[in-house]
Each structure stands twice: as structure tokens, then as C-alpha cells.
Structure 1
Amino acid sequence: MLPERTDLLVSGTYLISMDPGVGDLPRADVLVRDGRIAGVRPHAPGGPRDSGSAGIPVIDGTGTVTLPGFVDTHWHLWNSLLRGTVGDRPGTDYFTVKRALAPHFEVEDFYWAARLGLAEAVNGGITSVHNFDHNVRDPEDADANIRAHLDSGLRGRFSYGPPDSAPPDATNDLDDLAALRTRWPDSRLDGRLDFGVAVRGPYRTPPQVYEREWETARALGLPITMHCDRCLREEGCRSCGLTRLEELGLLGEDVQIIHAVHAGEQDIQALARTRTRVSLSPMTEMRTMGFPLLTELLDAGVRVSLSLDTLAMPTSADILGHLRAIVSVEAARTGSATVTPRRLLRLATLDGAHDLGLQDVTGSITPGKRADMVILRSTDINLTPSGDPVEALVYTGQIDNIDTVIADGRILKRHGRRTLADGEQDPVTVAIARRDALLRRAAAAGDWHLPPVAADTPAGQGPATIAQERSRP
């Protein structure tokens, strides 16, 4: 059961609206009614009655900064349960662990893995998430992810992909994809979720597969998302092969390309010509692929957004920490002034909304849009004294500064703590238990053999110890 939508007034906050028509207001009142931003105005001395909001709850915004909820445009929520199991020791890399454990997921594992990731999203101020699901084994798996998203209170997209390690000659379940809207009509989606198609593309599947998937997606009017990492392990690779996709007619405004770390100049021009979107996951890319080409893509006019990718690498939903890393890397890598703190905040909010087709719904604090907002304490020690609040957030902001998260008019985090409805199970607690049971099943089947715990790891800590102890005869 979700918290009820709450009419409220955020009073006297420093507003970073991300809307050029609204701008930044050092002292602003933001009125929320029926899940929608009903008004934005300079703070009125005398309080809420002057704002036409007598009798509704007031959040005192003194000493706070308010901005739109962050938008994540590529997140494999199903493998959130792999966090702590993926690591740096031999045999615990992401792909090895994923392939070993993916077949052992039960339907409820998909639900609670997604709920865990989405709970962390709330904690980090992310109010819209694109769930790129590349382990859909049957309709029940898809439904579990959709239920989890709706139960979380967040907005976003579910992109239907193939089972993990599916053979190249197997398509997505296109029949179920076509039936998805019948099973999940708009009346069940609360205006918060839409659907897309996650494909493997020409470098991983033959023409009879990718042509049919593209044709079906476009016939259904569903956006397409695809990883572009074909030369991930090829030394000296300087091309993503995107020019070939352009020649095949596979790029376009309905296509989102993920990563494209090794895109060459011609690849980037192909993206720009076709108005294809790119989602970058800088933290996972820098860990396993190389430097994301953020400056080059922006300078070419490519629409770019940002994403976490997975919690299994491991990463976390500390968007401000990610932005800080990106701005520093780009300064060192290119010396360009393209990537500024304000540009990064836009990438994480309004540009992400554009990527998901939600620019008229979220991404900025604009009257008429849905109320997706993050309120941070600007008086915390790491943010004071402050000059430009945008620079302060990107250069020194932390997830701990987030006081309140509002998604579609529902308060999902308040006073620094996630809110749970009466009787609701905590996704974190349940996900830990589901992860432990997953490891036991995989170990019992002989598919999971963790290497010994490193000598400097204290006894009794971590999933390695859990799996070893519980898989013993």
C-alpha cells in the first residue's frame, strides 16, 4: 500500500527548477495539489495563506534547496540481489556471477530485487527509473518487475528483454510483449509507467532476430534500448559500429544506445544525424569499459542522459557523488568547459526526462508537471558556507543531505528516512533474505562455488561466508 498523495506547500526554499522560464529562486514557495505542481512563486511573507493554500501541510523550506527528482535512464533492477556477491576476487566478476545465478531466480526474487533497487533510488532522490530487464524468462517475471515498480511509488519505464544468456537465434517473447498492454492497461499503471523493448542488436543476434524485434517494437510504438559494447574486450577498439546501424535503419529518435564508450567520430555523427539518444553509466563504464565520451557526445549535439546501470558492480544511488566524479574526469580528460555542474544537473533531471519521453511530465519544477521533487538541507556542514548552490551540490553534496523525496505527490522520504506504509515489508530486509536463499539454491545445484574469503576479510562477513556455510552438506 502506497502512501497517499499529499497536498502540501514547500515554503521558503532555494529553488533550482531546471525550467528556463522559472529559473532559480533564492526564496520560493512550491504548491503541490493532487500530485501536481500547482504553483511556483517567490516566497510570500505571511506564509501559506498568501499562496492560496490555507489549511494544507507546510514543509518549512528554510535552509533547504529543492530541485526536480533525478531521472535514471538505464538500470538492471533484477540483479540488485547480486550486490555483495560481485566483487574483485577471481570468479566474482559481474558476468560470471550473473550467468551463474540468473537461472536460479524465482519470481519473487525479481520482485524484491526491483524493490531493493527502487528503495535505494528513493533514498538517493531518484524519482524516475528505466528498468532495462535482460532476464525476462516468462510473463510472470515481467509482471513481477512491473508490480515492484508500481508498489515503489516511482515513475519510469519497463523495457522487456530476453532471458540472460539467451541463444543468439532466439527473439524476445514478442507475443507477450504485444499482450503486455492488455494485461497492464493504463488504468493499472497510475500514469507512472510505460513500456519499451530491450534488444541485443546486430552484433549479438542474426538478421532474422533483430529485424523482427525492431519491426515488432516499431509496430507497437514501443521505444527500443540496446547496449553498445561490442568491442568491450577488444584492445584498441575505436568504433561501436553505429554507422552500420544507421545504414540498416535501426537508429532514430525511438532508440536509446547504452554506453557507446568506444564510439568513433563517425559513430557519434551517426547518432547526431538520427537523433538517437545515449544513456551513459559513468561509474560502471570507468570500472570495466573506459571513459564515457560525455564531452564529445554533447559537443556533437547528441541527446545524453545518465544512469547507474546496476547495483552489482558495486555502485550506489549517490547521484551527487557520481556527478562529482564525472565533472572531475571530464576536466582532466578533455579540459573542455562543456561539462559544468549545472549541465550535469540538467543531464540528471530534465535531459533524463527527455530521454524517456517524460519531458512534459517531470524533469523540472514547472507548474502543471507532476510533483517529483528532492529537498536537501543546505545548512549541513558539507554545504556551508556556500556560494552557488548548484556548484555546492555537485562539488560537495552527499546523499545524506537529502531530507525529503516526493514522487508523484507522495512523500517517500522524510527527515532523511524512507517512509513505509503501515504493514509494508521493508524491501531491504526481504531482499537480503531472498539473496541468501538464491545463493543456497545455486550452490546446491552445483552452479555456484565461491572462492575462499580473502585472508584480510574478517570471519563471518559478506555473502561469500554466507554461501559457503549454507551450501555445506
Structure 2
Amino acid sequence: MIQQRTDLLVSGTHLISMDADVGDIPRADILIREGRIIDAGPHRPDREVGDVQVIDASGTLTLPGFVDTHWHLWNSLLRGTVGDRPGTDYFTVKRALAPHFEVEDFYWAARFGLAEAVSGGITTVHNFDHNVRSPQDADANIQAHLDSGLRGRFSYGPPDSAAPDATNDLDDWAALRERWPASRLDGRLDFGVALRGPYRTPPSVYEREWRTARSLGLPITMHCDRCLREEGCRSCGLVRLEELGLLGEDVQVIHAVHAGEQDIRALARTRTRVSLSPMTEMRTMGFPLLTELLQAGVPVSLSLDTLAMPTSADILGHLRAIISVEAARTGSNALTPRRLLRLATLDGARDLGLEHVTGSVTPGKRADLVILRSGDINLVPSGDPAEALVYTGQIDNIDTVIADGRILKRHGKRVLAPGEQDPVAVAAARRDALLRRAAAAGDWPARPAGAPGPSPTEGTLP
């Protein structure tokens, strides 16, 4: 079941709208009907709004909901399984466990990740699924997203570790919209495709996949990590992709940590979008080139990547790390807290083609909001509220999350629909069952490539 929408009046909040016309309003009211923002303006105590639920938001800050543009929801169950011990790195664990996922695992992994998104004020998620093992797996992800109440995109990829000469399920790409017509998607979900590209697949594969995606009008997303493990690499090969006609406004490139100057120019010329995942990039790849990309005019957005690394949906903590790293790395203070908040909201919506729907608190857009308590100890005393949020804000400050007019978090607690199972309670049980199946098949504990097989005492849960 999904939460029902309620007509709402958010009353007396300090609004950071991310809309140049609306601006910041120190004491604002936001009127919401049928999931749409009807009005966002100065507080009026005598406002007559009829039969609406009033949220007294005095002493709060309100922003548009955060937008995450690249999240592998399917492997959310792997948090705590990936680690720093030998044989527990992300890629080794992912490859060992991916074949053992059942349809229900895909559903609950997505529900678990999206529940954490709600806790962190993320109201739009791009689900980059690079382990679609059957059409039923895709359907489970889509249903999970709809059941979560959030907005987003499902990008259909190949099974994990698919052979380079194996194409994606092109037939199911075409069938997806027949199974999931707009009437079933509640205006909250669209579809894309996750491709491996020319550095992981031959021309017979990537040319056909690009051609099919574009004929179906499906936006494309791909990782750019060709030289992820090459010492001293200074090029992502994006100029070559431009020459092949593979870049463009319908393409989102992930990471591009090793992009050189010519790569960045190719991205800017083609208006190709880039999604950066700074927390995972700094852990395993290098420094994200945020300042260089922005200065070149490349459309940039931000993302979590995966909970398996492990990371968390504490977006404000991520923004704080990003602004500190960029200041140290570049010696410049050009990247401001307000610019970062725009990257996490409106720019993310633009990346996904949703800027007319979400990303700012604008009359006519859908009601995706995050409301934070401004009187919490870590946010007072405060000068510029945007600076306070980025420099000292925490996920614990989030009081209320509204997605498409549905209240999904209130008074700091996630709100479940009547009769709904809590995804957090289900996740651990699904993970343990997954590990038992992998152990019975001899695939767990995971082993790095080339390592000897398990000893007779191996294969039990940690």
C-alpha cells in the first residue's frame, strides 16, 4: 500500500525555494492540493484555505526535496557485507552475490534503499540497475519504487558481469512501457537504460544498444571508469565517444573522475550530463572534478551511488565533505553552500528532465519538500540558513518529508502506510537468506579473482 495524499498547508517556515522568482522567504506558507504546489508566498495568519491539514512549520527551514541521479538500489542489501577485509571489497562481493538474487530480493533491496532516501530527505531517485536478470526483476524494482511514494527513473541494465558480447534485453526495453503504461506510474516514474559502452562491449553490442535506446526515446546512462585502475590515467576517452556520436543531451555519464581537459570539453560541447558520486569516488577512484566540470559549463548533478560501499543518505554530510575537499583541492572558495544545494535539488531535476516537475518550490510543480528544524543545537545561532545547512546540518534535523504531496516522514520518523511492512525490518532477513544461498553454492565467502576455492570450514555466515 502507499500513503494517501492530503491537501496541506505548510505554515510559517523559512523557505529556500531554489526558484529565482520565488526566492527565499523568511516566513512563508506553502499550499498544496492534490500533490501540487498551489502557492508559495509570505505567511498570512488570516489565510482561508478550507479543509486542509495544517503543518505548523514555525522554527523550520524548507527546501525542495533532494534529487539523487545515480543509485544502485539492487545492492542495498550488501551494506555491512562489503568491507575492508580481504575478499570483501565492493566488486568482489557484488560479483559473488549478484547471481543469487531472487525477485523478492530486488523488491526489498529497492524498498530498503528508498526508505533510507526518505530518511535523508531525498524525494527523487534514479535507480541505475546493472543487475537485471529477468523482466520480473525489472518489474520488482518498478513496483518497489511506486510503493515507496518517491519519484524517479528506472534505468534497465544487463545482469551483473554479463559477457561483453551479450546485449541488454532489448526486447524487454520495448515491452516495458506496455507492461507499465503511464496510468500505472502515477506521474512519478519514467524509464531509461543503463549501458556499458564501448570500453566494455564491442561495436556489435554498443552500436545496437545506442540505436535501440534512441529509437525508443530512452535516456542513456553509463559509467565512465575506463582507466579506474590505471596508474596515472588522465583521460576517460570521452572525445572518442563524441566522435562515435555516443554523447549528447540524452546521455548521463557517471563519475568521469579521470577526465582530461579534452574530455571535459567534449562533455560541454555535447551537453552530456555528468552525475558525480563524491563519497564513493573519493574512497575508490579519486577526487571528483566538480569545479572543473562546472567551470566548463557541463551539466552536473550529485548522487549516492550505493549503500553497499558503505555509504548513507546523509546528503548534508556529503555536501559538507564536498565543499571542504573542493576548497582544499582547488584553493578556491568559488563553490558556495547555495551552489551545492542547487546541485542537490534543481540541477539534479534537470539531469533527469524533471525541472518542470520538481527541484524547486515553485507554484505548479509537484510538492516534493524537506522540512528541517532550524532550532536544533547544531543550527543555532545562524546567519545564512543555506550556509548553516551545508556547514553544520545533519540528517537528524529533518522533521518532515513530503513527496508528491504524501507525508512520508513526520516528527523525525518515517510514516508507514496502514498494513505496510517496514523495509528496514525485512532487509536484514533478506540479506541473510541471500548469503545462505550463496554459501550453499560455494560462492560465499567471496574470493578475489584467482584466489583458491573455499576450505571446508568456509561458507558460513559471518
Q: Which residue of 2 aligns with 1:178?
A: 174
Matched, 1:375 2:375: no
Q: Which residue of 2 aligns with 1:27?
A: 27
Q: Which residue of 2 aligns with 1:455?
A: none
Q: Which residue of 1 aligns with 2:387?
A: 391
CA distance in 2, matches of 1:226, 1:144: 22
2:306 corresponds to which of 310, 316, 322: 310
Q: Which residue of 1 aligns with 2:271?
A: 275
Q: How far does residue 41 in structure 1 lie from its aligned partner after superposition?
A: 1.2
Q: Which residue of 2 aligns with 1:445?
A: 441
Q: How far does residue 338 in structure 1 lie from its aligned partner after superposition?
A: 2.8
CA distance in 1, matches of 2:179, 2:334: 45
Matched, 1:12 2:12: yes
**Paired AA for residue 94 in structure 2:** K
Structure 2 gap ranges (5+): 448-456
Two-structure CA RMSD over aligned residues (Å): 1.2
CA distance in 1, matches of 2:418, 2:232: 55
1:357 corresponds to which of 331, 353, 366: 353
CA distance in 1, matches of 2:445, 2:23: 55
Q: Which residue of 2 aligns with 1:262?
A: 258
Q: How far does residue 468 in structure 1 lie from its aligned partner after superposition?
A: 7.1
SS in 2 for 1:194: strand
Contact 2:273 2:351 in 1 (8 A): yes
Q: Which residue of 1 aligns with 2:451?
A: none
2:334 corresponds to which of 332, 338, 344: 338
Matched, 1:97 2:93: yes
Q: How far does residue 55 in structure 1 lie from its aligned partner after superposition?
A: 3.0
Contact 2:442 2:459 in 1 (8 A): no
Q: Which residue of 1 aligns with 2:452?
A: none
Matched, 1:219 2:215: yes
Contact 2:445 2:460 in 1 (8 A): no
SS in 2 for 1:73: strand
Q: Which residue of 1 aligns with 2:193?
A: 197
**Paired AA for residue 374 in structure 2:** S
Identity %: 84
Contact 1:295 1:336 in 2 (8 A): no
Report how many aligned residue pairs link the two structures: 453
Contact 1:231 1:262 in 2 (8 A): yes
Structure 1 gap ranges (5+): 452-466
Q: Deviations for 1:62-97, whole angstroms, at most 9, x for unmatched residues?
A: 100000000000000000000000000111000000
1:128 corresponds to which of 124, 129, 147: 124
Q: Deviations for 1:338-387, whole angstroms, at most 9, x for unmatched residues?
A: 31100000000000000000000000000000000000000000000100
Q: Which residue of 2 aligns with 1:166?
A: 162
Contact 1:450 1:468 in 2 (8 A): no
Q: Deviations for 1:245-291, whole angstroms, at most 9, x for unmatched residues?
A: 00000000000000000000000000000000000000000000000
Contact 2:93 2:446 in 1 (8 A): no
C-alpha change, 1:434 and 1:468, in structure 2 (3 Å) is: farther
CA distance in 2, matches of 1:4, 1:362: 19
Q: Deviations for 1:298-338, whole angstroms, at most 9, x for unmatched residues?
A: 00000000000000000000000000000000000002233
Q: Which residue of 2 aligns with 1:107?
A: 103
SS in 2 for 1:413: strand
CA distance in 2, matches of 1:274, 1:422: 48
Q: How far does residue 407 in structure 1 lie from its aligned partner after superposition?
A: 0.2
Q: How far does residue 45 in structure 1 lie from its aligned partner after superposition?
A: 3.2
Q: Which residue of 2 aligns with 1:454?
A: none
SS in 2 for 1:196: strand
CA distance in 2, matches of 1:67, 1:4: 22
Q: TM-score, normalised by structure 2?
A: 0.97
Q: Which residue of 2 aligns with 1:401?
A: 397
Q: How far does residue 470 in structure 1 lie from its aligned partner after superposition?
A: 5.0
CA distance in 1, matches of 2:281, 2:51: 49
CA distance in 2, matches of 1:147, 1:54: 34
Matched, 1:80 2:76: yes
CA distance in 1, matches of 2:254, 2:132: 19
CA distance in 1, matches of 2:445, 2:220: 36
**Paired AA for residue 278 in structure 1:** V
Q: Deviations for 1:378-430, whole angstroms, at most 9, x for unmatched residues?
A: 00000001000000000000000000000000000000000001111000111
SS in 1 for 2:305: coil
CA distance in 1, matches of 2:194, 2:417: 32
Matched, 1:36 2:36: yes
CA distance in 1, matches of 2:51, 2:435: 52
